[in-house]
Amino acid sequence: MSKYYLNYLDELESEAIFILREVWAQFDNPVILFSGGKDSILVTHLAKKAFYPAKIPFPLMHVDTGHNFPETIKFRDDIIKDLGVKLIVGSVQESIDEGRVAEERGKNATRNALQITTLLDAIEFNRIDCAIGGGRRDEEKARAKERFFSHRDDFGQWDPKNQRPELWNIFNGKHFEGEHFRAFPISNWTEMDVWNYIKRENIAIPSLYFAHEREVVWRQDSWIPNSEFLVLEDHEEIVVKKVRFRTLGDITITGGIESDADTLEKIADEVSGMRQTERGNRSDDKRSESAMEDRKRQGYF
């Protein structure tokens, strides 16, 4: 006798596919926000399933800070080729060159906040009415309140206290000209779910997630990779460590952890024993208690 219920990963997958198809049905010009991180890779993988045997019917969009891991860019270009979809790139460097934003100064300067302007400019320029992201509610407390279909006003801003209620599986993506939505198909997944699913589906992810030898410096409780953008303090020293990354952001702010996990199996095991949240190694979230909420209100991912 066959069973007539889904296990939790199948149910999460089915939910995400449903959301992706709703986006396609309710919007004229959606894109997947693709950072090269595991969550956006997962969303892309789910989109492939949602529209099979057709190919993904919308482009991927990358907000390029210029401070990338080289591995990420190669991975991005390979996946675009494989899927046969269009890539849109919003460049933070261009935003700086055009005087739209100014580079942050100081020791921990990053281009993280600058992405907001580039992202919103790219959304406006390409007339995008829904940007699909890999945000998950378990990542951060402001994200715990995020809807699957999240409305942004014509300044791209999020108003967390005035969100549309979402009941059952009925999603309201109605919007006026100039407004857009963010859609989060993997809202209900946890970091552990993501790894278990990547392992189960054997999804290709950048080598950065696997333990490897790398030049790093110890800063803010994690191993920051050496790169052309790194400015060393007097007391800091570059060392070689076997590390891997739990999340991938800008090379300047993404801290690695020491690890020997060099297979998906070992990573899943390691994550299940982790006692720190994955964003614990992201210095962009450490700035204040509401750092994420403040950025999200302005239009961040």
Partner 1 sequence: MLDNNQLLRFTTAGSVDDGKSTLIGRLLYDSKSIFEDQLKSIENTSKKKGHDGVDLALFTDGLKDEREQGITIDVAYRYFTTPKRKFIIADTPGHIQYTRNMVTGASTANAAIILVDARHGVIEQTKRHSFIASLLQIPHIIVCINKMDLVDYSEEAYNKVINQFEEFSSKLLVHDIRFIPISALNGDNVVNRSQHMDWYQGAPLLHTLETMHISSDINKVDARFPVQTVLRPQNETHRDYRGYAGRVASGILRVGDDITVMPSGFTSKIKTIDTLEESLEEAYAPMSVSVTLEDDIDISRGDMIVRSNNKPEPLQDIEVMLCWLHNNPAKPRAKYSIRHTTNEQKAMIKEVVYKINIETLDRVTEDKELTMNDISKVKIRTTKPLMVDSYRENRTTGSIILIDDATNETVAAGMIV
- Residues near partner 1 (CB under 8 A) are 2-8, 10-15, 17-18, 21-22, 24-25, 48-55, 137-138, 141-142, 144-145, 160-161, 163-170, 172, 174-176, 187-188, 190, 192-193, 196, 274-277, 280, 289-290, 293
Residue 133's nearest CA partner among 249, 27, 268, 37 is: 37
DSSP codes of every residue in 211-256: -EEEEEEEETTEEEEP-TT----TT---EEEEEEESS---TTTB-E
Q: How far is the CB of 103 from partner 1 (least distance, A)?
A: 28
In angstroms, give the least distance from the CB of 102 to partner 1.
26
Cβ-based nearer residue to partner 1, 125 or 272: 272
64: left (phi over 0), alpha (psi -120 to 50) or beta: beta
What is the rounded CA–CA span in Å between residue 77 and residue 74? 5
Q: Which residues pair with 219 in a beta bridge?
A: 222
Instruction: Give the distance from CA 131 to its chain's centroid.
Output: 12
Indicate the residue among 17 and 92 with the shorter CB distance to partner 1.
17
**Minimal distance in Å, beta carbon 254 to partner 1?**
16
Q: Which segments of the chain does DSSP mark as H helices, in order?
A: 8-26, 38-51, 70-83, 92-97, 115-125, 191-201, 264-272, 291-298
Nearest one of 276, 264, 249 to 207, comparing CA atoms? 264
Q: Closer to partner 1 by CB, 190 or 227: give it.
A: 190
- Least spacing, CB of residue 54 vs partner 1, in Å: 4
| 102 vs 168 by CB, closer to partner 1 | 168
Closest among 262, 245, 146 to 191, alpha carbons compared = 245
Q: How many residues does the chain have?
A: 301
Q: CB of 270: closest distance to partner 1 in angstroms?
A: 14
Of the two residues 64 and 193, which places its CB atom closer to partner 1 in the complex?
Answer: 193
Query: Which residue's CB is nearer to partner 1, number 96 or number 131?
Result: 131
> Around 128, how many Cα atoms within 13 Å sit in the side-chain half-sphere?
27
What's the N-to-C CA distance of the chain in angstroms? 45
Nearest distance from C-beta of residue 116 to partner 1, angstroms: 18
Shortest separation between residue 285's beta carbon and partner 1, angstroms: 10
**Beta strands 239-245 and 256-258, pairing class:** antiparallel
The smaller minimum CB distance to partner 1, of residues 121 and 285, is found at: 285
Return the number of the residue (177 or 228) whose C-beta is nearest partner 1.
177
- For the CB of residue 196, give the shortest distance to partner 1 in the complex, in Å: 7
